[in-house]
Structure 1
Amino acid sequence: MRERKSVAVLTGISGTTSATVGTLLELYRFPQLTFGPFDLILSDASKFPSLYQMAPKDTTLAIAIVSLLLHFSWNWVGLLISQDENGLWILPELREEMSKNRVCIAFEEVVPVRTLSEISRLMVIYYEINKSSANVSIIYGDNEFLLELMLYFEQFLITGKVCIINSSWDLTMRSRYFILGSFHVPLIFSHHFADIAGFTDFIRAVNPSKYPEDFYLARFWFLSFNCSQNESECVTWVNCPYDASLEWLPGQVFDMTMSEESYNIYNAVYAVAQALHEVLLDQTEEQTMENRIGTVPSPAQLHPFLKNIQFHNPVGAQVVLDDKRKVEAEYDIVNIWSLPEGLEFKAKIGKFSPYAPHGHQLSVSENMIEWGLRTTKTPHSVCSESCGTGFRKSLQEGKAACCFDCTPCSENEIANGTDVEQCVKCPDRQYANTEKNQCLLRAASFLAYGDPLGIALVCMALCLSTLTAVVLGVFVKNQDTPIVKANNRALSYILLISLIFCFLCSLLFIGRPNTPSCILQQTTFGVVFTVAVSTVLAKTVTVVLAFKTTFLGRRMRWLLVSGAPNFIIPICTLIQVILCALWLGISPPFIDIDAHSEHGHIIILCNKGSLMGFYCVLGYMSSLALASFTVAFLARNLPDTFNEAKFLTFSMLLFCSVWLTFLPVYHSAKGKLMVAVEVFSILASGAGLLGCIFAPKCYIILLRPERNSLRTFRDNIHIMSHKLS
């Protein structure tokens, strides 16, 4: 370092070396410019106020690396970080960015530099990498760290792994240890810079005769071009080719393209020249007439200018030496191709620019990537395979968020994307298809007249109502015969008419429900059936009174003649009407939908509103039936000729059995079957009353008319009276 000519010092790649030299240079406030990677230790202005780093800061490196992971859908990644200031800075940056983008860490090794000399520790790291299911590892460190790590690991065949590296280490030195196809997919993030015009021509023209003071160039020349068979301290050029050029050397020995370090040196020289130029301009303005002779500026004078310097180099890139004002770095993504005979080629396969719009910051040419020997497929690095449509992610206990099981969506839920965390429930009027990836519109379903079940029930209702009308016609035609008179002609007419309405009211339950039909269904059913059952009760009481008047005298005869049993019908019916009115006033039936009973259909039905009201109506009707059954059962042994108590008993037994069976079946049925069960119960109980009470009478009227005569009637009375006496 010549005192009168040197105004600044360029120091090399190693941050440790630069720090050591910087401590010495700081004693003289000598400007020091480093052309190696940006080092956080060297950025401490309190320790190194005279040091300037030419490399850009890696503030967006973590974002760039994670963007590449996301591009290839790699979410299961290992970390191998050097335990120095830079490594401890990048580690939380990577963790945060990976966490935001749901990329998980398969393993994490923070390696002290001194550990690289400990075989046992290195074996542990090697085992961790090799056993991991992660096929992608991020390796971060300075050049020395990376070189030593590669030197060790490439002696072991760690196959099938992709390495994302933060620095393009010296390819010449690396090639000595590279085993073809071992660490086979290196993807290197290097700082982007434009090609310097004329640089290749400059390198092509370099030779020791132009730079006789460069001992290292001379020795490299001497060894590379076989100038002598014997290595000696004395360099001679007798056997060197006259027109030798560095261009002759293979790429793995000497790379003619500008490296990142060369680019930083280029900018450093320009920066010093720019600062020196500004110092000289400043001195020229301040020179006095007495001191016209210019002097070489002292190194310390350059600091104010170097700190504030900002210019664009010949290729248009902005150069700033102040760490606080440095621009964010752009990155080239480099892939090393393995060529025959151990040759290699660095191929630029992508770029990351923080200045591009979001979503377009990363560009990758996948077809240019050499993934490894005998494969063209992109490596896969996930803890768990993606969950397809119709499945949701279910995290595995105690493992990272990227490790999960795929669980099918529940009933009527869908997942129309991959790796969804929660299935989405379909709306009530829609249902999930078989694949559970789409909600389809449910078809409206109800007990329609066109359904087979609806057709059957309508036919039953019409047939039974017609049959009842025929029976009524038979009774009207034969109204003056003894059997019709003996069974209380008026009550029989009321019962037959009420049964016709009972059968017809079942039609209100069939068809698309609406508010009026929902209200009429239950109230009509309750009132009409109450009339029928109360009529049966009145008939039963009439039979008992008719028998009692024969043996007990005037009071019983008065009750029978006055028609007192007939008042049972309006009284009982009025009570039922009041119950129905209360039901409609408190919580009337309404239209409801059932989206769960039948897959793919939404069932429209009538909701009872108040179940208590429905059960009160049904319970009251059942109590009337039970009362009729009890009275008829007690009168079952009365004389046969004028006694229909046995038939009434059986009809009420059948009626009660139907509705007792109805309750559990109704509650276990779903959708349209609930309606069908209720309709069938109405028809079955009505048919029971019709068959048990009127079938024997029709049999006598139509098939045994000789028994339907006054003489036979009197003979039977005489015989029965004789037996009883």
Structure 2
Amino acid sequence: MKHRAHMDGHVIITGFFPLYTLGIDHNNIHASSKEDNKMFIFKNYQCVLALAFAIEEINKNPHLLHNLTLGFDIYDDEFRTWKMFKNPFICLFGKYKIPNYSCMRDSKSTAVLTGPSGITSDQIGTLLGLYRFPQLTFGPFDHALSDHNKFPALYQMAPKDTSIATAMVSLLLHFNWTWVGLLTTQNEHGAWVLAELKEEMAKNRVCVAYELMISTQDASHIFKLMAVHNEINLSSANVLIIYGDNDSQTALMVLIEQIFIHGKVCIMNSQWDFIMKRKYFMLGSLHVPLIFTHHYVDVSGFTDFVKAVKPSKYPEDIFLARLWFLSFNCSDSESDCVTWDNCAHDASLDWLPGHIFDMTMSEDSYNVYNAVYAVAQALHQLLLHQTEVQTMGNRKETVISPEQLHTFLKNAEFYNPTRYPVNWDEKRKLEPEYDILNIWDFPEGLQIEVKVGKFSSYAPHGNQLSLSEDMVEWAIGTTETPHSVCSESCGPGFRKSPQEGKAACCFDCTPCPGNEIANVTDMEQCVNCPDHQYANTQRTQCFLRAASFLAFGDPLGMALACMALCFSMLTAVVLGMFVKHQDTAIVKANNQALSYILLISLIFCFLCSLLFLGQPNTVTCILQQITFGVVFTVAVSTVLAKTVTVVLAFKATSPGRRMRWLLVSGAPNFIIPICTLIQVTLCGVWLGTSPPFVDTDAHSEHGHIIILCNKGSLTAFYCVLGYLGSLALASFTVAFLARNLPDTFNEAKFLTFSMLVFCSVWLTFLPVYHSAKGKVMVAVEVFSILASGAGLLGCIFAPKCYIILLMPNRNSLHYFRDKIHNRRNNPS
């Protein structure tokens, strides 16, 4: 019996399908071990049925291939390299080896179908390409076969997996899996998909935990197996993408069985489909498979066709006879006339379990179906062309050669019966859509594929992936969705801090500093709050800052304002008292005019402190420092003038007219306008170059924005303050030197004490002022103004008020003369 399946026709389509593999079929106790230990591959026989189904549809179609029928020759794709070219030679030259004699005949084959192995298609294509014999492959798209210079007669039916990386990464993003391992085959196709996956993962910030490329020989190396086992199972990545092709899938899956992947989610491409249907391969207890397979529309009538298939319908199909024998324990005779008397009359392929034989059309079978229609369409166009060029008087029998088919096959563009467009123009080919399958486990090792989602690159961005999570069966003992991240997400209030030398997905969570927030998870950088806002303690939100300034209504502001007003009123009372008692000896003896000037300037000193209270504005900011500087300069220069007057009064009693003239002419009084003019000049330069202005400070107090007066020019401010300090120091020095001069009312000593208090206050002010912030800083300056003014008022005028009010007997000219007389009589 010939080892082929045959159906006669005017034109033959030849198929090379891998229907046997090495080994013994443990699923069937009736499998024979006599034929070189060959094991029948049930799943691949569906491709034969798809070819037969398409040919029957075409032969019944009156609009396609008029008066011409298609037939087929199906050969087993020999797994031994030395036998691989036997059947292609038969296809090309029509040679058969028959017992007792040989015969020659012309081959009617016009096209060859090969697959799904890319290696087999490559080797057969090398031979067929020499004769430009049309070859259509139904396996997955192979980049190695797309070289038209090497394979001028080869056409790939499967769409290019241009979106597989995007589809798989979309699934990763859906479950927030950002820490993923990669396992591919060590060949050109594996290298291509590995690069595609890594590029797409990098775009979406998914990190590669490890990447492994395994050759088919690695399954037999124990040390390689141990290295792969440790890499996968010891990794913290709980998701593994496994991508392989038909040529290496068996060896790779055997390797995966041996390394025992435990508790991992395995995302695979559709080429792992058939190998997982082996009964002994218990996927569910080890890992969760999510399989991406090309989406296609179900072909109407195919399932019914498969149900109706029987050996009696295709008596020249040795492979169907073999399948029937293995499935239903039917015996047949060894003659060419096969009988099936001991088989159940209603036996059908749908009796077989789903994990043995699938009744729905597989992806490879769908490509076979399209390939047959592609050949039929090309033949149809070729026949139309030959009809047009033939003359009516010279009509010859139509001759179809395989080489003629190329022109029409290359330009073939049509819709198959499911309305799916078929063409070979890469620019017009549709992007493939993917179904996402999950494996459900049942007792006895049975498994079924369940569609749980779909990926369409034509859908709007963000809606390309649709998934029914509740239909996904995770690993046994697991109810929650698996987790696969290198580092847990950083919640609001934290930012990601990369770990040195590790992938971008590995990071530490660092709290946001200062006035920065992170209001979403996994922020790379914290965001600064605007100056008018502040971050809450959790660093998750920005709130409006409350305006802060030393207001009159604040307890501290109210206390300082009351102090300023009280001191101003007290000074006014002292001034009124001096005016009232201006004819008394003590008032006259203390330089009446200078005392009035000093008291009036002190009133303004106390009142100018009120400019520092309340919300600052441009006017108050300018008046604060200028008024303070000028009025205190008047006060201190007045004290200096009083001190100089005391010294001149003593010197005037000594021989010489110059001192007397200075005293009588009122020269000390000129100190006040001269010193004040210098200060006014400094203030004018300050205002002209960099005047004070309203400013805000958003950093000193949490939750508040401090409204303050910026000095404008710190240099000018310290010049004004330094000039004032130099006047105070000069006054203190002169007063200190004159403290022991004879004076009726101890004026020099009181002036010394007043300047000592004044200098002490402002020397203390400087360090405290620089360390204070906000309201406290303003309060320190106001308090210094009030304290220094009060020191001048108390030290200079309190003793005089005491004499005026409580000891009026001392406030007389007689007492004054007696005191002078006693001092002269008792100089010691």
Q: Normalised by the shorter chain, which TM-score bucket?
A: over 0.9
Task: Return the match for 1:557 from 640, 660, 668.
Answer: 660
Q: Which moved more, 1:677-686 or 1:241-250?
A: 241-250
Q: Is the 8 A contact 1:172 1:254 kept in 2?
A: no
Q: CA shift at 1:120, angstroms?
A: 2.0
2:572 partner letter? A
List per-residue Cα deviations over 1:406-458 (Å, max 9, x = no partner). Answer: 21222111222222222222222222222222222222211111111111110
| Aligned mates of 2:241, 2:481 — CA distance in 1 | 17
Q: CA shift at 1:356, angstroms?
A: 2.2
Q: Which moved more, 1:636-645 or 1:190-199?
A: 636-645
Q: CA shift at 1:404, angstroms?
A: 1.3
What does residue 297 of structure 1 align with?
400
Q: Does the C-alpha gap of structure 1 residues 226 and 587 become closer, same or farther in structure 2, counting only changes over 3 Å? A: same
Q: Does the C-alpha gap of structure 1 residues 85 and 156 become closer, same or farther in structure 2, counting only changes over 3 Å? A: closer
Matches for 1:437-448 after TM superposition, within 5 Å: 437-448=540-551
Q: Which moved more, 1:252-261 or 1:122-131?
A: 122-131
Q: CA shift at 1:640, angstroms?
A: 5.0
Q: Is the 8 A contact 1:414 1:439 kept in 2?
A: yes
The alignment's C-alpha RMSD in Å is 2.3
Mark the runs of 5 or more structure 1 residues left unpaired by the alignment. Answer: none
Aligned: 1:637 with 2:740: yes
Q: CA shift at 1:324, angstroms?
A: 6.4
Matches for 1:62-77 after TM superposition, within 5 Å: 62-77=165-180
2:319 partner letter? Y
List per-residue Cα deviations over 1:283-338 (Å, max 9, x = no partner). Answer: 23333456545244122221111111111000000111456653321111111111
Q: Does the C-alpha gap of structure 1 residues 236 and 184 become closer, same or farther in structure 2, counting only changes over 3 Å? A: farther
Matches for 1:137-536 after TM superposition, within 5 Å: 137-171=240-274, 174-227=277-330, 237-289=340-392, 291-321=394-424, 326-536=429-639
Q: Does the C-alpha gap of structure 1 residues 276 and 206 become closer, same or farther in structure 2, counting only changes over 3 Å? A: same
Q: CA shift at 1:704, angstroms?
A: 2.1
Q: Is the 8 A contact 2:601 2:634 kept in 1?
A: yes
SS in 2 for 1:724: coil
SS in 2 for 1:253: coil
Q: CA shift at 1:193, angstroms?
A: 0.7
List per-residue Cα deviations over 1:55-76 (Å, max 9, x = no partner). Answer: 1111221222222222222221
SS in 2 for 1:381: coil
2:178 partner letter? N
| Aligned mates of 2:707, 2:427 — CA distance in 1 | 71
Q: CA shift at 1:510, angstroms?
A: 0.7
Q: Does the C-alpha gap of structure 1 residues 196 and 245 become closer, same or farther in structure 2, counting only changes over 3 Å? A: same
2:520 partner letter? G
Q: Is the 8 A contact 2:184 2:194 kept in 1?
A: yes
SS in 2 for 1:266: helix
| Aligned mates of 2:516, 2:695 — CA distance in 1 | 22
1:562 partner letter? S
Q: Which moved more, 1:644-653 or 1:424-433?
A: 424-433
TM-score by length of 2: 0.84
1:332 partner letter? D
SS in 2 for 1:7: strand
What does residue 183 of structure 2 align with?
80
1:485 partner letter? K
2:368 partner letter? I
User: Between the two proteins, what is the percent identity of the paired residues?
Assistant: 75
SS in 2 for 1:162: strand
What does residue 701 of structure 1 align with?
804
SS in 1 for 2:144: coil
Q: CA shift at 1:381, angstroms?
A: 1.4
1:529 partner letter? F
Q: Which moved more, 1:628-637 or 1:685-694?
A: 628-637
What does residue 94 of structure 1 align with?
197
Q: Does the C-alpha gap of structure 1 residues 706 and 234 become closer, same or farther in structure 2, counting only changes over 3 Å? A: farther
Q: CA shift at 1:198, angstroms?
A: 0.5
| Aligned mates of 1:218, 1:340 — CA distance in 2 | 31
Q: Which runs of 4+ in 1 moved over 6 A?
A: 228-236
Q: Does the C-alpha gap of structure 1 residues 488 and 211 become closer, same or farther in structure 2, counting only changes over 3 Å? A: same
What does residue 626 of structure 1 align with?
729
Q: Is the 8 A contact 2:179 2:485 kept in 1?
A: yes
Q: CA shift at 1:77, angstroms?
A: 1.3
Q: Is the 8 A contact 2:311 2:324 kept in 1?
A: yes
| Aligned mates of 1:418, 1:233 — CA distance in 2 | 74
Q: Is the 8 A contact 1:158 1:182 kept in 2?
A: no
Aligned: 1:118 with 2:224: no
SS in 1 for 2:127: helix
Q: Does the C-alpha gap of structure 1 residues 455 and 296 become closer, same or farther in structure 2, counting only changes over 3 Å? A: same
SS in 2 for 1:284: helix
What does residue 756 of structure 2 align with?
653
What does residue 595 of structure 1 align with?
698
| Aligned mates of 2:333, 2:761 — CA distance in 1 | 118
Q: Is the 8 A contact 2:277 2:356 kept in 1?
A: no
Q: CA shift at 1:235, angstroms?
A: 8.3
Q: Which moved more, 1:18-27 or 1:459-468?
A: 18-27
| Aligned mates of 2:283, 2:342 — CA distance in 1 | 34
1:24 partner letter? L
What does residue 692 of structure 1 align with?
795
Q: Is the 8 A contact 2:201 2:207 kept in 1?
A: yes
Q: CA shift at 1:40, angstroms?
A: 1.6
Task: Return the match for 1:19 from 122, 126, 130.
Answer: 122
What does residue 775 of structure 2 align with?
672
Q: Is the 8 A contact 1:593 1:604 kept in 2?
A: yes
1:705 partner letter? P
| Aligned mates of 2:263, 2:604 — CA distance in 1 | 84
Q: Which moved more, 1:166-175 or 1:49-58?
A: 166-175
2:433 partner letter? E
Q: Does the C-alpha gap of structure 1 residues 422 and 367 become closer, same or farther in structure 2, counting only changes over 3 Å? A: same
1:527 partner letter? V
Q: Which moved more, 1:127-136 or 1:434-443?
A: 434-443
Q: Does the C-alpha gap of structure 1 residues 721 and 581 become closer, same or farther in structure 2, counting only changes over 3 Å? A: same
Q: CA shift at 1:343, angstroms?
A: 1.5
Q: CA shift at 1:230, angstroms?
A: 14
What does residue 610 of structure 1 align with?
713
Matches for 1:14-53 after TM superposition, within 5 Å: 14-53=117-156
What does residue 566 of structure 1 align with?
669
| Aligned mates of 1:154, 1:233 — CA distance in 2 | 43
List per-residue Cα deviations over 1:344-380 (Å, max 9, x = no partner). Answer: 1111112222222232222222222112212232211
SS in 2 for 1:552: coil
Q: Is the 8 A contact 2:215 2:248 kept in 1?
A: no
What does residue 109 of structure 1 align with?
212
SS in 2 for 1:431: strand
Q: Is the 8 A contact 2:244 2:271 kept in 1?
A: no
What does residue 24 of structure 2 align with?
none
2:299 partner letter? I
Q: Which moved more, 1:403-412 or 1:475-484?
A: 475-484
Mark the runs of 5 or more structure 2 residues left unpaired by the alignment. Answer: 1-90, 95-105
| Aligned mates of 2:461, 2:155 — CA distance in 1 | 32
List per-residue Cα deviations over 1:203-249 (Å, max 9, x = no partner). Answer: 11112221222222222222222336999999874543221111111
| Aligned mates of 2:236, 2:337 — CA distance in 1 | 55
Q: Which moved more, 1:397-406 or 1:321-330?
A: 321-330
